[in-house]
Structure 1
Amino acid sequence: MSLFADQERRVSVLLPLPLSGAYDYAVPPGMELCEGDFVTVPLGPRERTGVVWELEPTNQDVPFEKLKNVIEKLEQPPIPEASRKLVDWVARYTLQPSGSILKMVMSVPGALSDPAPKPAYIKASHQPEGLKLTKARERVLAFMENMPPMAPSDIAREAGCGTSVLKGLADLGALETVHMTDPSPFQEPDWQRDGYELANQQRVAADDLVEKTAHAGTEDGFSVTLLDGVPGSGKTEVYFEAVAKALEHGKQTLVLLPEIALSSQWLTRFKKRFGVEPAVWHSDIGQSMRKKTWRAIVRGQAKVIVGARSALFLPYKDLALIIVDEEHDASFKQEEGVIYNGRDMAVVRAQMGKCPVVLASATPSLETAVNSWEGRYNNLHMPSRHADVPLPDVITIDLRLDKPERQKWLSPSLIEAIKETVARGEQVMLYLNRRGYAPLTLCRSCGHRLQCPNCTSWLVEHRKAQKLQCHHCGYFTRPPRTCPSCESEDNFAACGPGVERLAEEVAETFPDLRAIVAASDTVTSPTQAAELVRKIEDQEVDLLIGTQMVAKGYHFPMLTLVGVVDADLGLSGGDLRASERTYQLLYQVAGRAGRADRPGTVMLQTFMPDHPVMKALKSGLRDRFLECEADARKSAGMPPFGRLAALIVSGEDEVLVDDTANALGRNAPHGQGILALGPAPAPLAMIRGRHRRRLLLKTDKKMPIQSILKDWLERTSVSRTVKIQIDIDPYSFL
């Protein structure tokens, strides 16, 4: 639908700012606009770029004569209707201004201006008479015979001359100057290339997803499918078949991955399957490539996009398939700014665009599992590994009986297993989800703990870098020689292990082993991740010490032993998902062992071998564990059987923060099926110098929690210096 400006025509324009809604503007004569068009409009003394959100808006409170004119329509394709619907839906669900959501769509403002055309040369059809030819000129004209327009630098390189030779030929009329726009940086993936030969269970699942993808864009195009397969069952190769179907129809696919580091092996597998690499979207790509990628996506030139959760909001021209790999992963939850769950919003985006969404996992989240059990999601189950490779044996090591040496962290049983594994020429992974050298540093004399000055968290020692760092705000300092409390010198002790300390123990215990540490502060880019993968695949590494970043997604054929140094880590803290997350993480870690033709073993060091998580991992009864978790949540009315929302009150003035939090507490909603808790200091009561208080709203599942929250906030006066964050369906309780 378009709008031709005649007499008194207006449009509403949404701006990528945290404003309450769209603003009305007059359409100047002769300007044609459609919903979704990018336009420049005046806002106060400045000009802003926004999006035409509604033609002839129904709410016309401002008289037409007071409206300012749209200044300019930008020459970019409009934002598709599905993306605009997503913006409005997410704004309503998260109780955030629509403009804040639009800002995520328009995340690269510079992409809206096309780069200036670049000069290029083509050989003139009629050569000038009497042209004097040097050797260099002869090489240029011979090379340019039947060639398309080319950049001067490319011609000069191929012809072995300087660009001044080209300019001279152009001035004489032997070359014609044309102007080229930047081509898309992405090649078309070849959907006709042969993929892996799929086993029966894989073929059944692949055929199902291919059929659903073929109906994308139709009234029956939307579906949600849980692709539930054990580690090594070939889930990636299965959904690649659906990607091929989308490519066959000339449409786009989005693949969301939880970790940038995971993309290294994934990209290699994609290129092997489709001949080229896909478009990539995450925080580490440079600004120039971000602009090119954004433009290629909105124009439909980038056919397959793999990215972090923010890639979900890009303005896809023709999206036919969404895949959320490792759908259970907590890193799909955005915790700052607009707080949302990328997995859940992917389902909404698929519904808006009438396309299938695939949620892939070996350990589905309880929310996804319940939706599958109750028939809202389809379920494709792959219970065995590809080529019938057996799942690894899981052994629990009771640390109360099999004790490590004092100030050591590896039990005798695990040490012996490492020796035997390496002696066979196989590889080992030791998993510990703690970065740095030690999670806590204290004074031996007075017990003083070194704490971040901006946060209520302990400073983590990074001995290799010789610094103490806060993993919440980034503050770091040199380790002090003198205790700030008792002034004793050189009397600090590192408490507990981090991966650096574990690496130190490995070096002492196994001096001949080639060990490497993989954590988010040692592997900081996809390039470094790719080099880590290469070293392990080429068997330049005997033992890998890793945190959560290596727990999932990787396939190392020679890695047959996984040792979990502290399997109990994560089971404490009062988080309602603590058991579920720990199970998922340890199951994924276990899945790295024995993925080829060599059997794998997983050893879990624990002080709680009888904990339900440990028993479930050892027995392999995953579904039984999920059922027990579901029963516990249901009896407590917790998600996914109830609703939760958190209010996080923060500010630099602690008195104002407490006053606001207490006012919210006094105005808290009450009624049947509604329970408000708090205020209380957050477990991390200060982050980045801001004091924090939390309130929690719990309601029955079918209650309109957003309406209840909105009414609650409207009845409470809030200082401008105090910020209230709304977290619908909270994952973090810090």
Structure 2
Amino acid sequence: LLPETHVVEERWPVPDPARIEVQLNEGQASAARRLEEAVQERRHAAFLLDGVPGAGKTEVYFAAIAACIRAGRQALVLLPEIALTSQWSARFTRTFGVPPVAWHADVRSARRRKIWRAAIEGKVPLVVGARSALWLPLRDVGLIVVDEEHDPSFKQDDGVTYQARDAAIARARFENCPIVLASATPSLETVVATSSAGPDRIHRLVLPERHGSAPAPKVDIVDLRSARPRRGAGFLAPRMVGELEATLERGEQALLFLNRRGYAPLSLCRACGHRFRCPNCSAWLTAHRLRRRLQCHHCGFSMPEPDHCPECGTTDALALSGPGVERIADEVRHLFPNARTALLTSDTATTAGQAAAIVGAVERREVDILIGTQMVAKGHHFPDLTLVGVVDGDLGLGGGDLRAAERSFQLLYQVSGRAGRADKPGRVLIQTHLPGHPVMRALASGDRDRFVAAEIAEREDGLLPPFGRLASLILSGARQVDVQAAARHLALAAPIDPGVRVLGPAPAPIALLRGRWRERLLVRARLDVDLPDYLRLWTGAVRLPSAIQLMIDVDPYDFL
């Protein structure tokens, strides 16, 4: 416990159970009853709240939170992004009459100490926060909610690696309370768990239609192979520009999505072709025009935009290749000089307050075109936003990530759901060079379940998660030759097991990260293998040089 000298007595707002009213339609009420029963019976059960964007999933689990508060117990809600807490908190306050207690990286240490003590004393009825809120010592947990449960932000890759969604399920079991996993695009692991018959089964509650009269937005694919932007004119196809113009003429709002920060992902010299690389990582430097700097998005290294090439000395020869959101914002301002624009990225909204200010401006109709990265895709409700334009739908489909197609579909489906959430019909345009890709076909047809079934079948054939388990072993050190030797030594020491296959070693996709060279081994195991025990047996018998660091990530989400 914290010293008494740090404790400042504070009154924590508690909703009046008699005044809590959550308005639900028939489908929402049916799902809410299942959750309320589990809360009232004080029993553990896991639920997937599966509803299309705009179906009112938040209102359903608000009803369960109300039941939890009436029972005098505490509720915990996990959100994937700090930026979501402000809008979520506003909805909570309107429903419950008091604000929730928020826990995330922007909360100051003095406030954290108060929340920590109030949690353990049972004085806070509800906490909403990022994944770290899971570790608060709440005295009497009656309900846990993981909103956007599919989101990769719930996996922590630095320091102690853990998947907050899975840890939340475990805590709900320990607390003997229900847990709600809410998503419009559930993870494949969660979908498969809904069909299992064992104690780990997740019960599925489906909300197939949008709340109110809003129909699902119409999704169209823009084939950039035939409908490319005019040469030198920018990165928005003529059809995208036309839809933006028509939307603005109707007095409605639009959103342009590109999941790439900065102005341009590659900077080079026009004279000699020199490319600007990070000195600490095997990665290119991204140009950020707002700050006039080149920056590495892996280690944080940055430098001013150079006035001459360090290789050939030519001045004013810096060429910026490819688009980032800042470049798209410039293009939009050039095309529509009278339109009010806003940029929502982790660079323009570094705190929850800054993100809330941008979101509030959109809600108040002070913004005509919102441009952003994945921060704009999750949970936002903008009634007058009717057009969503995806600048590059292919961006997440490459690389060696087994979840690449799943993640791309989830992200594009989520951002598509921001269009037409009130009484005005929505429209979505996705620019792509791969119109025949299964992700693009699924988005255009709206057949999510068929896409998920195909992905599940492919994973099952390859014994990949959730039908097998993976572990990533990353060795790193200052000297590449030493890391390679240690990786070979570790691989040769792997125990023989018919249910386990060890792949590698091989250079990690980002072979140099923060000044350290990296080699990776990937372990694939059957579900009946105790993978942590296998790893302990293996690594415990190997003595690595003190200069070599070994990081083990069971069930990895990051394959960099």
Report TM bin, short chain. Answer: over 0.9
Q: List alignment gaps of at least 5 residues for structure 1.
A: 1-75, 77-111, 117-180
Q: What is the aligned counterpart of 2:206 among 369, 381, 394?
A: 381
1:533 and 1:573 map into 2 onto residues whose CA distance is: 32
Query: What is the one-letter code of the residue matched to 2:260?
Result: R
For residue 419 of structure 1, what is the aligned residue in structure 2? 245
Deviation at 1:655, TM superposition (A): 2.9
**Inter-partner Cα distance in structure 1 for 2:222 and 2:127:** 43
- Aligned partners of 2:175 and 2:194: how far apart in 1? 22
Matched, 1:289 2:111: yes
Q: Report the 3-state secondary structure (helix = DSSP H, G, I; strand = E; otherwise coil) of the residue aligned with 1:192.
A: helix
1:602 maps onto 2:428 in alignment: yes
How far apart in 2 are the matches of 1:301 and 1:663?
54
Query: Deviation of residue 724 (structure 1)?
Result: 0.8
Of 518, 529, 548, which aligns to 2:374?
548
Q: CA deviation at 1:238?
A: 0.5
Which whole-Å CA distance do the structure 1 matches of 2:391 and 2:527 have between them?
Answer: 39
2:174 equivalent to 1:352? yes
1:169-248 correspondence runs (5 A)? 182-216=8-42, 221-248=43-70
Larger radius of gyration: 1
Q: Which moved more, 1:418-427 or 1:446-455?
A: 446-455
Q: Which amino acid aligns with 1:319?
A: V
1:322-337 equivalences under 5 Å are 322-337=144-159
> Whole-Å Cα distance in 2 between the matches of residues 114 and 656 of structure 1?
50
SS at match of 1:573: coil
How far has the Cα of 1:368 moved from its partner?
Answer: 0.3
Alignment deviations for residues 35-58 of structure 1 (CA, whole Å, 9 cap, x no partner)? xxxxxxxxxxxxxxxxxxxxxxxx
Q: 1:687, CA displacement in angstroms? A: 1.5
Q: Which residue of 2 aligns with 1:66?
A: none
d(CA) in 2 for partners of 1:638 and 1:341? Answer: 17
Does the CA contact (< 8 Å) of 1:426 and 1:560 recur in 2? yes
Equivalent of 2:286, from 424, 444, 460? 460
Q: How many residues align?
A: 556
| Distance in structure 2 (CA, Å) of the matches to 1:332 and 1:405 | 40
Structure 1 counterpart of 2:73: 251
Amino acid of the structure 1 residue aligned with 2:3: S
Q: Distance in 2 between matches of 1:207 and 1:196?
A: 12
Separation in structure 2 between the aligned mates of residue 421 and residue 565 of structure 1, nearest angstrom:
17
Q: CA deviation at 1:485?
A: 2.3
Residues 183-192 or 369-378, more deviating: 183-192
Contact 2:333 2:339 in 1 (8 A): yes
2:488 counterpart residue number: 662
Match of 1:315 among 121, 137, 140: 137
Using the TM superposition, give the Cα deviation of residue 717 of structure 1 relative to its aligned residue in structure 2, in angstroms.
1.2
Contact 1:669 1:676 in 2 (8 A): no
2:120 paired residue among 292, 295, 298:
298
Match of 1:280 in 2: 102
Say if 2:555 is the partner of 1:729: yes
Structure 2: gaps spanning 5 or more residues: none
Amino acid at match of 2:87: Q
Matched, 1:715 2:541: yes
TM-score, structure 2 as length reference? 0.98
Letter in 1 for 2:228: K
Amino acid at match of 1:577: R
Equivalent of 2:5 in 115, 134, 143: 115
SS of 2:75's equivalent in the other structure is strand
Aligned partner of 1:7 in structure 2 is: none
Q: Tell me whether 1:364 sits opposite 2:186 in the alignment.
A: yes
**Deviation string, structure 1 residues 471-528 (Cα, Å, up to 9, x no partner):** 1111111112222223322212101100110011001111111111110110111211
- Counterpart CA distance in 1 for 2:286 and 2:451 is 34
Matches within 5 A, 1:484-495: 484-495=310-321
Look up the match of 2:390: 564
What CA distance in whole angstroms lies between the structure 2 residues aligned with 1:325 and 1:613?
A: 23
Pairing 1:581–2:407 present: yes
SS at match of 2:14: coil
* 2:554 maps to amino acid: I
Q: Which structure would you say has the larger RCO, counting Cα contacts within 8 Å and 6 or more residues apart?
A: 2
Runs of at least 4 residues off by over 4 Å: none
Say whether 1:397 aligns with 2:222: yes
Q: Match for residue 88 of structure 2?
A: 266
Q: Give the SS at the match of 2:331.
A: helix
Q: Distance in 2 between matches of 1:550 and 1:638?
A: 31
Q: How far apart are 1:719 and its partner, in Å?
A: 1.6
Q: What is the letter of the counterpart of residue 361 of structure 1?
A: S
Q: Is the 8 A contact 1:271 1:277 kept in 2?
A: yes
Identity %: 52
**TM superposition shift of 1:442:** 1.2
Which amino acid counterpart does residue 387 of structure 1 have in structure 2? G
Aligned mates of 1:726, 1:380 — CA distance in 2: 35
Among residues 522, 526, 531, which one is paired with 1:696 in the alignment? 522
Paired position in structure 1 for 2:264: 438
For the 8 Å contact 1:192–1:244, the answer to whether it is kept is no
How many Å apart are 1:623 and its aligned residue?
0.7
Task: Using the TM superposition, give the Cα deviation of residue 452 of structure 1 relative to its aligned residue in structure 2, in angstroms.
Answer: 0.9
What residue is the counterpart of 2:511 in the other structure? 685
**How far apart are residue 195 of structure 1 and its match?**
2.9
1:533-554 deviation digits (Å, cap 9, x = unpaired): 2211111110000100110100
After TM superposition, give the deviation of residue 204 of structure 1 in Å.
Answer: 0.3
Alignment partner, residue 479 of structure 1? 305
Report the equivalent of 2:332.
506
**Mapped partners of 1:648, 1:185: distance in 2:** 47
Q: CA deviation at 1:185?
A: 4.7
Letter in 2 for 1:562: V
- Answer yes or no: is the 8 Å Cα contact 1:189–1:275 preserved in 2: yes
On the 8 A contact 2:213/2:423 being kept in 1, the answer is no
Contact 1:185 1:292 in 2 (8 A): no
Amino acid at match of 2:4: D
Q: Distance in 2 between matches of 1:398 and 1:648?
A: 39
Matching residue's letter, 1:286: R
CA-atom RMSD in angstroms: 1.2
Following the alignment from structure 1 to structure 2, what is the Cα–Cα distance between the partners of residues 650 and 402? 45
Secondary structure of the equivalent of 1:507?
Answer: helix
Contact 1:467 1:477 in 2 (8 A): yes
Measured in 1, the distance between the counterparts of 2:224 and 2:19 equals: 51
> Counterpart of 1:539 in 2: which secondary structure?
coil
Q: State the distance in 1 between where 2:295 and 2:17 align.
A: 47
The whole-number CA distance in structure 1 between the counterparts of 2:221 and 2:393 is 9
Q: Secondary structure at the match of 1:294?
A: helix
Q: Is the Cα–Cα contact under 8 Å of residues 563 and 603 in structure 1 kept in the other structure?
A: yes
1:342 Cα shift? 0.5
Q: How far does the alpha carbon of each residue in 1:602-642 deviate from its partner, in whole angstroms, 9 at most, with x for none? A: 00000111110000011111111000000001101100000
Report the 3-state secondary structure (helix = DSSP H, G, I; strand = E; otherwise coil) of the residue aligned with 2:5.
coil
Kindly provide the amino acid, as one letter, of the partner of residue 437 in structure 2: H
Structure 2 CA distance for aligned equivalents of residues 693 and 186 of structure 1:
50
How far the C-alpha of 1:722 sits from its partner, in A, is 1.6
Cα distance in 2 for residues equivalent to 1:717 and 1:355: 43
Q: The residue matched to 1:644 in structure 2 has which SS?
A: strand
How far apart are the structure 2 equivalents of 1:478 and 1:667?
A: 47
**Matched AA of 2:344:** A
CA distance in 2, matches of 1:453, 1:215: 58
Which residue in the other structure is 2:419 paired with? 593
8 Å contact kept, 1:469–1:477: yes
Query: Matches of 1:444 and 1:574 in 2, distance apart?
Result: 31
Instruction: Choose the corresponding residue for 1:614, options 435, 440, 452.
Output: 440
1:627-669 per-residue CA deviation (whole Å, 9 max, x = no partner) reads 0000001101100000100001112233332222111111123
Displacement of 1:200 in angstroms is 0.5
Paired residue type of 1:295? R
